[in-house]
Amino acid sequence: MSANVKGMMTEKAIFAASPKREYAMFGAGCFWGVEDALRQVEGVLDVQVGYAGGHVDDPDYEVVCEGKTGHAEAVLIEFHPDIISYEELLEEFWDMHDPTTPNRQGPDVGDQYRSMIFYFGDEQKTKAESSKAARQEKHEDPIVTEITPAGDFWRAEEYHQRYLEKRRKMGIE
């Protein structure tokens, strides 16, 4: 996967990667904070922000924010499975957002901020469903997280990549 390529990542292209590199994709609200938090997790090799789960090819930030594409702000995570497992990434996902609020995370409102797990293959699907069921036992309110096949991932514009990291380097908090 090239960080310079803007466009969709298909399941076939992703699994052509090295066997010590696996992928996960989540939507958990604004992708800036999700990306920043996941970059701090040991075993995470790379995180890209983008759009997934929609019905429009090559969407951009403005059209996604209009709410007419069906896309969620998402992160594509490349991880080393010998250092962090998919199940451990799921725990990070649950802990970083409120999975009981539909189409909202904090002050961000809209279907692009919905809670989603995009799975690559039946094994991830099974683990995601089990993880959701276990997490539901800990919540009084229903968990609204969608679990869906990964499909296409459209990499967001370059200014969104590592957004919070760039702001910190400029002295902006």
Residue 65 falls in the annotated catalytic set: no
Judge whether 131 and 90 are in contact, CB under 8 Å.
yes
Cα 145 from chain centre: 12
Q: Half-sphere exposure (CA, 13 Å, Cβ side) for 120? A: 20
**Count of Cβ atoms closer than 10 Å to residue 16 Cβ:** 9
Distances (CA, A) of 152 to 8, 21, 25, 92, 126: 5, 19, 11, 23, 20
Distances (CA, A) of 53 to 25, 59, 139: 11, 11, 26
Rounded to whole angstroms, the Cα distance separating 38 from 126 reads: 22
Among residues 9, 14, 28, 30, which one is catalytic? 30
Q: At what angle do helices 122-136 and 86-95 cross, to 10 degrees?
A: 40
Positions annotated as catalytic residues are 30
